[in-house]
Every structure is written in structure tokens, then in C-alpha cells.
Amino acid sequence: MEGSAEPKPSDLLSPEDFTFHYENLKYAHERRKTYLCYHLERLDGDRRVLLDSAVIQNQGSRHVEECFLFSENVLEKLKAPGSYSVTWYLSWSPCARCAQAVIRFLQQHPNVRLRILVARLYFHETRANRAALRALRRREAPIEIMSPEDFAYCWKHFVDHRGEDFQPWEDMDANVDRLAEELSGIWLSK
């Protein structure tokens, strides 16, 4: 990945916020904020050119996915002809409303490929959210559970870690496996 569009230190998550909001707990009580760390790249042959990289959070009633999708900064970068790749690292998976907004965005921007990695599944027991995740998958916006390597990557690129190495939390691996199994169940359900 070429370019120098890494987030400014003032825009990075604190280590405490990252751990609190991205910890992949089975019951993540009191995590009412959603964070989205992203990379926006232009695909130039075999090269990827980093255009933008940032951390955003929900703003009032506007969910974080909507903050990205309707960002003038992002939309301006997508005006130039070419193909683009966007990677999202979300603390929660999209809700039904946001999944529909993502689908509309991808229909309007067929030159954009979106990869979605999530720390936790948002109210995945509800029929609407399960159906929304399946709809995203059908629209080629793959959703994956963040791996320990993904958490370490986010720590390195989106957290003001001040040189400290990423320290996996207790049960991280087991929680990744459990969430991946739950997501597989969503793909198989109707």
C-alpha cells in the first residue's frame, strides 16, 4: 500500500477506547458507540494507493456507516475515474438500516469494493439484522469476524499506542472462533 494518508495522531483511538469498544466479548454491555477504522485505496494496476485512512464514530442518531457513506471527504475521492478498495474495521456489525444504506452505496458506486471486518455481531439474533447481513454478502460486501491479526493491525494503524505492542485480551481467540461460528450460522439460516 503506497501513499501517506494515515490518520493524524489526534484522530487515533486511545488504547483504552480501542480495547473497550473492540473487545470481542460475548456480552458487550455499555458499548453504545460504534467505531469504524478504514482505509480507502485506489487500485492502480497491481498497486494500491492509499487515499484516506481514518477513525470515525457514530454522531448522534447517525450511525458510523452512514457517517462514512455520506462523507463529502470520501465521496470527493471517489469522483475520479478508477477502481477503489475500502476496508472497514467495525466495532459492531452493521444493523439492518445501515446494511441497506451500504447496499445502495455499492449500487451507486460499482467501482468500489468493500470488505467489512467486525469485532462483534450487532443484535444478530434478530431476524432483520440476520437478513441484512445475508443481503450484504449477496451484494459482494463480505463480512468477516476480525482475527487476532486484524486487531493487532488496527492497534498499529489506528490507535495512539505510543510504541506499546498490542496485548491480546483474555479469550480473544475463543471469542473469534465463537463469533465466526455464529456468522456461519447466519449464512446458513433463512
Residue closest to 84 by CA, chosen among 53, 46, 111, 102:
111
The mean pLDDT values, 10 residues at a time, for the chain of 190 residues are 54 90 78 88 88 88 88 89 93 88 91 92 70 77 89 94 88 87 72
Q: What is the pLDDT of residue 154?
A: 94
Active site residue 65: yes
CA atoms within 13 A on the CB side of 118: 23
Instruction: Say how far apart CA 9 and CA 128 lie, in whole Å.
Output: 38
Pair 11, 54: CB distance under 8 Å = yes
Q: What is the pLDDT of residue 61?
A: 79
- Which pLDDT score, from 0 to 100, does residue 90 have? 93
From CA 18, how far away is CA 35, in angstroms rounded?
9
pTM of the model: 0.88
Strand partners, 118: 90, 145
**120 DSSP assignment:** S
Residue 153's pLDDT is what? 95
What's the rounded Cα separation, in Å, for the pair 81 and 10? Answer: 31
* pLDDT at residue 147, as a whole number: 94
Q: Which fold has domain 9-188?
A: Cytidine Deaminase; domain 2 (3.40.140)
Question: How far apart are the C-alpha atoms of 143 and 40, rounded to whole Å?
Answer: 17
Angle at which helix 172-188 crosses helix 127-138, to 10 degrees, equals 80
pLDDT at 29: 67
How much is the pLDDT for 159?
Answer: 94
The active-site residue, picked from 65, 164, 170, 182, is: 65
Q: Where are the domains of the chain?
A: 9-188
